[in-house]
Amino acid sequence: MAQAQKITPRAKDFSEWYNDVVMQAELADYSPVRGCMVIRPHGYRLWELMQQALDEMFKATGHQNAYFPLFIPMSFLAKEAEHVEGFAKEVALVTHTRLKATGKAGAQAVMPDPESALEEPLVVRPTSETIIYAMFAKWIQSYRDLPLLMNQWCNIVRWEFRTRLFLRTTEFLWQEGHTAHATEAEAEAEARQMLGVYRKFQEDWMAMPVITGRKTDSEKFAGALRTYALEALMQDNKALQAGTSHNLGQNFAKAFNVQYQTAAGGLEYVWNTSWGVSTRMIGGLVMTHSDDNGLVCPPKLAPVQVVIVPIWKSEEEKSQVLGVGGKVKEELARAGVRVELDARDSLKPGAKYFEWEAKGVPLRLEIGPRDVAAGQVMTARRTGGKAPAKVDGLGAVVRKTLDEIQATLFQGAKDRREAHSIRGVTKQQFLEFMKGAGGFAYGGFCGSPECEAEVKQQTGATVRVLPDPEFRSAEAPKTCLWCGKPSVAEAVWAQAY
């Protein structure tokens, strides 16, 4: 392993800091393909843990996993007008099926074989509504086939020129849920339910507090009736959209002719929803919790929850501390803890601490000869604080400590978000806030897209959500914070990723 590099402090350059944390934690790396990233084992394990937790929640709410093709006929995208407009500028296209040798040297040695040009080009999925609803049309005949509740875990391609690891890449991993229902009320309940599932995951597992609410028409998903979103505030006071859930209405059902026979014998279009979260959440986790020493990972999602670092000078001490370290590892593994024993000879303990800190391990157990004699270990939390703990009954102590760290991270992030939220802002306060430190600004909104566009152009801020009731201010704003006309809804504004 290469010697760890210094991490740029957050206060100096947040964006550099973010990159340093991701690279040093070995979560991801840049790839030879522009715009694409490589997810390294530590980052992929984190994603697997996220997947596991979410997948269980999806299944508990009645969804089944399936898999649909990576390629979508180009004409499918044209069937829903708003949808094609929303994705046209970022799709990758497959136009040929084979290469041909040219006889030239180097990169020019092969070219697409003109004779293999596809009659209809294929789009690499930017999202799968079109191909999934084409199949739903085949599978749904009667009201007895409803609701149809599916999810797929897959990769997505949306062409990007500016890459930010996990936050913005041409290819990323995600899940997309797709459902069909008999009534609008059922589709609405489903879209809201999945927003709740995402919130539970992001708050309970990622320890990342979120605001939920509805997107304005200019920010909603291309082709949706209504889009709901989860918004989290990062440490640089920019918002991150952490997931979305859409009530698609009958737009796609009409475009793909997904109809069902009602109990009374009539013919109706189904109501659809779709909902997704992606590897972007890893970026959100990093920017919510990490510090100038590297990644801070909530215990529930940490690939390694506990690292044991034995400390020795002589061979005799080495065999003692490794003996105890091995037993502690076994006990913790039995207690269901993801634990590593770092017995490497090549690194001094201090260098090991540094490395595991950068990788975000929540709890370190140090075992030296004196600890062995005292029947104890020294516990050191990634978030600060050291305390001795008896080897006897260590499993329970470690579990409790991990739970405490998880809770502290959530509370800390929530306090930080509230400290950077202002309510009932005037236009002047809003301008100063957005020019200054920034954060979530709650204010009135007249509902006009022109106002939204002007705010964006002048401050870089957008309406993140029209918040759900529990997040709204005690007193509803009366006027739009920008134009002064009557407010139709309170809005949360922020600059965003």
The residues that touch Zn ion, with contacts defined as CB under 5 A, are 446, 451, 480, 482-483
Identify which of residues 269 and 430 has a Cβ nearer to Zn ion in the complex: 430
3-state secondary structure labels for all residues of the chain: CCCCCCCCCCCCCHHHHHHHHHHHCCCEEECCCCCCEEECHHHHHHHHHHHHHHHHHHHHCCCEECCCCCEEEHHHHCCCHHHHHHHHHHCEEEEECCEEECCCCHHHHEEECHHHEEEEEEEECCCCHHHHHHHHHHHCCEHHHCCEEEEEEEEEECCCCCCECCCECCEEEEEEEEEEECCHHHHHHHHHHHHHHHHHHHHHHCCCCCEEEECCCCCCCCCCCEEEEEEEECCCCCEEEEEEEEEEECHHHHHCCCEEECCCCCEEECEEEEEEEECHHHHHHHHHHCECCECCCCHHHCCCCEEEEECCCCHHHHHHHHHHHHHHHHHHHHCCCCEEECCCCCCCHHHHHHHHHHCCCCEEEEECHHHHHHCEEEEEECCCCEEEEECCCHHHHHHHHHHHHHHHHHHHHHHHHHHCEEECCCHHHHHHHHHCCCCEEEEEECCCHHHHHHHHHHHCEEEEEEECHHHCCCCCCCECCCCCCECCEEEEEEEEC
* Residue number with CB closer to Zn ion (99 or 453): 453
Min dist CB 496 to Zn ion, Å, is: 19
Q: Shortest distance, CB of residue 467 to Zn ion, whole angstroms?
A: 17
- In the complex with Zn ion, the residue whose CB is nearer, 319 or 426, is 426
Smallest gap from Cβ 473 to Zn ion, in A, equals 17
Choose between 235 and 462: whose C-beta lies nearer to Zn ion: 462
- From the CB of 482, what's the least distance to Zn ion, in Å? 5
Between residues 233 and 463, which has the closer beta carbon with respect to Zn ion?
463
Q: Measured from the CB of residue 427, what is the shortest distance to Zn ion in angstroms?
A: 10
For Zn ion, the closer of residues 241 and 487 by Cβ is: 487
| Closer residue to Zn ion, CB minimum distance, 111 or 488 | 488
How near is the Cβ of 435 to Zn ion at its closest, in Å?
19
Q: How far is the CB of 481 from Zn ion (least distance, A)?
A: 8
Beta carbon nearer to Zn ion, 335 or 483: 483
Q: How far is the CB of 150 from Zn ion (least distance, A)?
A: 40
